[in-house]
């Protein structure tokens, strides 16, 4: 395990375009799950009248998700290719669950955008693409799915039409489309997922699996101090308090003294494990559980960030963000207080100043001190969290400087932190 590079891969796209089925298929074909499990799920799915859901159910192993047939939380699964071992994050496409999707996407090194060949990009496809771009996911692969159900089946015309629509969408948010591979697949039947398919004689490119092996390994930011946002905290019998999270920068080592902010609790790292295997140290990209001496479960919580005692994570009194307003029903003005999702924290924050509107194409200033912001605007704004919150400058710690803004059950904006005023007390 240790000698293969590790990548976090997120599957994004509109609900019902087949993301979970594609993830299940990739896990099944790479023998990351057992045949008997698929048979068991298939039988269960048929009994519940959802006969084609067995692959999707591999990821949706929460009972509630099965009953509803939608993906709720971000699930993590490991699978190996010849070159990498991947942690797959299956990001929910369902409207209510975009906030979980944000948590997933902000951790990803690369994204697979799944688009139904018969439907093309839909509203949520756009939202996911924009978010992936704003949250800094630079490597993108487009899987044009459900090729078996086009008219006629495996139609090159349907593929080209979808490819063009998605290309236009990607260009609009400034993805380098020439670097984005488009792969026709059928997740349910398995065509072109891990093996080339005779049903697609017109397609001469790589399978999805081969494409994933061509992704670039993200630079490991080990020259910066440790930053590890906490996802959950467990109490494990015989071990003690075990926070779980992903190392974003720096290195987590045994016997290291660390501090959790904004909780302001310190402790010493006793043990570290990943995928149930003990490790001496954890590096950027590693999802780990670690035991800390001298900490109770109630001392820390999701949203806290661990760092070394000599480089404490920044707790913001206020910060300046560059935001893109994705989808706001009216306008954003001073005093607006939606919820900011940053790394694993979710905290209501108030807009205290609208500094300037920017032309997203050129970066030039369009308007100083605007009265309001609306959908489509890009702007610099000053923000004050209503509770202590760790956020870093995106130029220094990109993973802790990106955020999404949610209100009324939807993502209204996303952005990056450009300056932080530290909270002193």
Closest to 23 in 3D by CA, of 4, 7, 10? 10
Q: Tokens 């240790």 appear where?
A: 2
Cα–Cα distance for residue pair 155/161, rounded to 1 Å: 10
**Distance from CA of residue 402 to its chain's centroid?**
12
Per-residue pLDDT tens for 248-284?
999 999 999 999 999 999 999 999 998 778 999 999 8
Residue 321, strand partner residues: 381, 417
pLDDT at 1: 44
The bridge status of strand 252-253 relative to strand 281-282 is antiparallel
Report, as an integer, the average pLDDT of 18-32. Answer: 82
CB 356 within 8 A of CB 369: yes
Give the tens place of pLDDT for each residue, 48-90.
776 565 556 555 554 444 455 444 343 456 778 889 888 776 5
Q: Characterise 9 by phi-psi region: left (phi > 0), alpha (psi -120 to 50), beta (else).
A: beta
Mean pLDDT highest for which of 64-73, 177-186, 391-400? Answer: 177-186
Task: Reply yes or no on whether the pLDDT at 95 is more than 70.
Answer: no
Name, in order, each residue with C-beta under 8 angstroms of 175's C-beta and a sequence gap of 6 or more.
129, 133, 140
Euclidean distance between CA atoms 252 and 258, whole angstroms: 9
* Secondary structure of residue 58 in the 3-state scheme: helix
Could you report the per-residue pLDDT of 193-218, keeping only the tens digit for each? 999 999 999 999 999 999 999 999 87
Is the predicted pLDDT of residue 115 greater than 60, yes or no? Answer: yes
- Residue 225 CA, distance from chain mean position: 22
167's CB contacts (< 8 A; 6+ apart) are: 177, 180
**Model pLDDT, residue 71:** 42
**Cα 179 off chain centre by:** 20
Chain CA centroid to CA 357, Å: 27
Q: Helix, strand or coil for residue 183?
A: strand
Domains and CATH numbers, the chain: 6-213 (3.40.50.300), 228-308 (2.40.30.10), 316-422 (2.40.30.10)
Residues 319/413, Cβ–Cβ less than 8 Å: no
Confidence of residue 96 (pLDDT cuts 50, 70, 90): very low
Contact 204, 220 (CB under 8 A): no
Residues 335-342: what's their mean pLDDT?
Answer: 94
Q: What is the pLDDT of residue 272?
A: 95
Backbone angles phi, psi at 392, to 5 degrees: -120, 165
C-alpha–C-alpha distance, residues 268 and 259, integer Å:
9
Tell me the mean pLDDT in the region 344-355. 96
* Phi, psi for residue 14 in degrees, rounded to 5: -65, 150
| CA end-to-end distance (rounded Å), the chain | 44
- Any residues with CB less than 8 A from the CB of 72 and at least 6 apart, and which? 60, 62, 64, 65, 92, 94, 97, 100
Contacts of 181 (CB under 8 A, 6+ apart): 141, 142, 205, 206, 211, 214
Pair 26, 208: CB distance under 8 Å: yes
pTM assigned to the model: 0.63
Q: Tell me, what DSSP letter sits at residue 100? A: H
Q: How would residue 19 be classed by pLDDT, with cut points 50, 70 and 90?
A: confident
* d(C-alpha 227, C-alpha 247), whole Å: 6
Segment 237-253 mean pLDDT: 91
- Helix (DSSP H) and strand (DSSP E) numbers for the chain: 9, 22
> Which residues does 3 contact at the CB level (< 8 Å), separation at least 6?
none
In this structure, are residues 207 and 112 in contact, taking their beta carbons and an 8 Å threshold? Answer: no
Q: What distance in Å separates the CA atoms of residue 370 and residue 258, rounded to the nearest whole number?
A: 42
- Confidence band for 98, pLDDT divided at 50, 70 and 90: very low
């Amino acid at each position: 395990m240790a000698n293969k590079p590790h990548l976090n891969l997120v599957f994004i796209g509109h609900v019902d375009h087949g993301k979970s089925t594609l993830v299940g298929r990739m896990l099944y074909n790479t023998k990351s799950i057992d045949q008997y499990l698929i048979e068991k799920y298939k039988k269960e799915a048929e009994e519940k009248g959802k006969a084609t859901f067995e692959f999707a159910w591999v990821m949706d192993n929460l009972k509630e998700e099965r009953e509803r047939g939608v993906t709720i939380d971000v699930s993590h699964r490991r699978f190996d290719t010849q070159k990498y071992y991947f942690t797959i994050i299956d990001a929910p496409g369902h409207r209510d669950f975009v906030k979980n999707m944000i948590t997933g996407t902000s951790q990803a090194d690369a994204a697979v955008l799944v688009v139904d060949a018969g439907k093309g990009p839909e509203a949520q496809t756009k939202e996911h693409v924009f978010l992936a771009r704003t949250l800094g996911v630079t490597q993108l692969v487009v899987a044009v799915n459900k090729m078996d159900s086009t008219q006629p089946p495996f139609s090159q015309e349907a593929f080209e039409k979808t490819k063009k629509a998605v290309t236009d969408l990607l260009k609009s948010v400034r993805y380098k489309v020439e670097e984005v591979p488009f792969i026709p697949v059928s997740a349910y039947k398995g065509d072109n997922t891990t093996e080339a398919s005779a049903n697609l004689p017109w397609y001469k490119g790589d399978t999805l699996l081969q494409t994933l092996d061509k992704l670039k390994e993200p630079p490991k930011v080990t020259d910066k101090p440790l930053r590890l946002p906490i996802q959950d905290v467990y109490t494990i019998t015989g071990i003690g308090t075990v926070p779980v999270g992903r190392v974003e920068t720096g290195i987590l080592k045994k016997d290291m003294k660390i501090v959790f902010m904004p909780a302001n609790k310190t402790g010493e790292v006793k043990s570290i494990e990943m995928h149930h295997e003990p490790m001496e140290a954890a590096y950027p990209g590693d999802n780990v559980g670690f035991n800390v001496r001298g900490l109770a479960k109630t001392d820390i919580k999701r949203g806290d960030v661990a760092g070394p005692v000599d480089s404490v994570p920044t707790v913001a009194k206020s910060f300046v963000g560059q935001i893109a307003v994705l989808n706001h029903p009216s306008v954003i003005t001073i005093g607006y207080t939606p919820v900011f999702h940053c790394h694993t924290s979710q905290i209501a924050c108030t807009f205290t100043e609208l500094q300037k509107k920017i032309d997203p194409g050129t970066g030039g200033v369009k308007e100083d001190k605007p009265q309001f912001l609306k959908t489509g605007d890009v702007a610099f704004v000053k923000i004050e969290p209503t509770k202590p919150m760790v956020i870093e400058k995106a130029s220094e710690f990109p993973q802790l400087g990106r955020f999404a803004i949610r209100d009324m059950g939807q993502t209204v904006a996303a952005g990056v932190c450009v300056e932080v005023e530290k909270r002193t007390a």
